[in-house]
Amino acid sequence: MVDMRAKPFYLSEEDCKWVEDTIADMTVDEKIGQLFFNMGSSREEEYLKMTVEKYHIGGIRYNPGTADEIYEQNRILQENSKVPLIIACNTENGGDGACTDGTMIGSQTKIAATGNTDYAYQLGYLSNKEAAAVGCNLSFAPVSDILYNWENPVIGLRTYGNDPRRVAKMTKAYLKGAHENPGFCCAAKHFPGDGLDFRDQHVANSVNTMSCKEWDETFGMVYQTLIDEGLEAVMAGHIMQPAYARYFNPELTDEEMMPATLSTELIQGLLRKKLGFNGMVLTDASHMVGLTCRMKRSDMLPAAIAAGVDMFLFFNEMEEDFASMKQGYLDGRISEERLQDALHRILALKAHMGLHKKAETERMPPKEQVHEIIGCETHKKVQREISERAVTLVKYKDKHVLPITPKRYKRIMIVYVKGLSAPGLGAFFAAKKSPAEVLREKLCAKGFDAFLYESPIEKMQQQMQAGEKPDLNLYFAGKTPIKEFRENQDLILTLVDIPGGFQPVARPAFGMTKGGGEIPWYVFELPVVVVGVQHPFVLADIPQARTYINTYDSKDVTLDVLIEKLMTGEEAFTGTDPVDAFCGLFDTKL
């Protein structure tokens, strides 16, 4: 049984009594409901009340919305829930992970590029100060993965880099910052560790292939650091770790190997026994194929709890999933002891947050503070500081290119290169203007004649959309004499905008081959600056780039900083890439 008086809960006798009394007063349905994190599909009051009154959910994560929308949603939930709720957010990069008008402080990779651990602390403090203002009390952060494989499609910019010691220091600092907000807790992810595989557990199996010794010295060291610091929760990933699974169960066959979310060996053995974690464990999202491909969903739900996980993310269909979980308890697949253990950890976490001491109408912070905190100037100032220190001049072979001024390079052609991947859900929330359009406007304001490159492919698409027959000569015969090409612009700025995570493929998409303008074949013809505004591994596909910069995001303030540094010169760049931007390839350094 969980020791609720010990780390990370530190409950008093009175607190423990509340946990015990609450569990004793629960019906079977109420107990089963506590095991679920719902992914809220609506903010309608009727729906919200139904989730807590009929399904008795233990926690919720929700779809994006403004601070006012999220506050009102959380108020309805907390005021109508018999047992106070865990309300989670994804504040990996800032308060925008709690509400859409929150402050994006900076991705973890961008923070790491500053080399300043205090900014990781500020990320934890400021982003979760905004989250707490709208009623959240748990962050699905810090991301504690280590990026060893540049082709990993999940982690991208969600890591403090490829040095385990830096990851440990900065995740610990994030946790400290988050804890500055009273009652606020964290769930580190994705145990047992992502960043090695080239596959994405959203769409396939994923494996951490390290030996036990390698794991101990890397991911194990990071998780042990956080556990010692008082980490309250761990998110188990849909990631297998064969070495430790077989260490705890030598008879385990390949067919029996399960991701951490379904592995007794990894949860009860590695996390609980070896690392001594006493806090709550929750699954990663249950729609990911790295989990759903392992067994029938009706079996998967109780199997996760039976393996040692305490809370399950998320419902597929509420009635069906609830029935499957309840049946798993009634037929003994979830033992009484395992259910009691999970309930004690869930409620102990809520007591640790101080929620049990508040009446239903007192579980939310004062509403008048919301707009004093969300997106405030103090937080935006830190955002700019981080950009100023993070933007990184990764490669600089042509020492004469910088600084870039209107006197030296009046005409700048901006080539905008997007990713090869499907746009996904992010496309619905994309900005109206592309980063290239914003950059053009900012450069023109500085006195440059900046313009966007239009590829022959785009022109042909426009012709087709207008009902015209596309002019194939644009593709097959549209070559410009090199002399004319050089005369048309003084410098070319190639902006590569590839999402740094959640994509099966994170590579640039070039519309034309064999000399299309979007591919910088012309690096010896004109000065060329290539900028990666998200994904920091652009050199793998554009190794010929002789001046290459990583900005880690394309926020307005970041583009302002980029222009300032370009116009100042080499000495203005202070960032250091926390990952191998050269991708382990010799030709990227040439």
- Helices 117-133, 377-390: axis angle to 10 degrees equals 150
According to the 3-state scheme, what is the secondary structure of 392-429? EEEEECCCCCCCCCCCCCCEEEEEEEEECCCCCHHHHH
Q: Which residues pair with 246 in a beta bridge?
A: none
Handedness of CA 546, 503, 585, 120 (dihedral sign): positive
What is the number of residues in the chain? 590
Report the C-alpha gap between 144 and 164 in whole angstroms.
9
Q: What CA–CA distance (Å, rounded) separates 282 from 310?
A: 6
DSSP result, 548-564: EEE-S---HHHHHHHHH
Residue type, 410: K
In degrees and rounded to multiples of 5, residue 546 shows phi and psi of -105, -20
Q: Cβ-count burial of 229 within 10 angstroms (0-12 exposed, 13-18 middle, 19+ buried)?
A: middle
DSSP 99-167: STTS-B---HHHHHHHT-HHHHHHHHHHHHHHHHHTT--EE---B------TT-TTTTTSSS-S-HHHH
Residues 456, 517: Cα–Cα separation, whole Å? 9
CA gap 406, 19 in Å, rounded: 68
Structure tokens at 403: 């600084």
Residue 76 host element (H or E): helix 67-80
- CA–CA separation, 177 and 123 (whole Å): 7
How far CA 378 is from CA of 369, 383, 386, in Å, comes to 15, 9, 13
Say which residues have a Cβ less than 8 Å from residue 368's Cβ, sequence separation at least 6: none
Is residue 180 helix, strand or coil?
Answer: coil
Q: Angle at CA 66, nearest 5°, toward 60 and 67?
A: 75
CA distance 178 to 161: 20
Separation of alpha carbons 200 and 204, rounded Å: 6
For 256-271, give one letter per residue: b (16+ CB within 10 A) or e: ebbbbbbbbbbbbbbb
Catalytic residues: 284
32, 299, 315, 326 from 321: Cα distances, Å: 11, 10, 6, 9
What type of residue is 170?
M
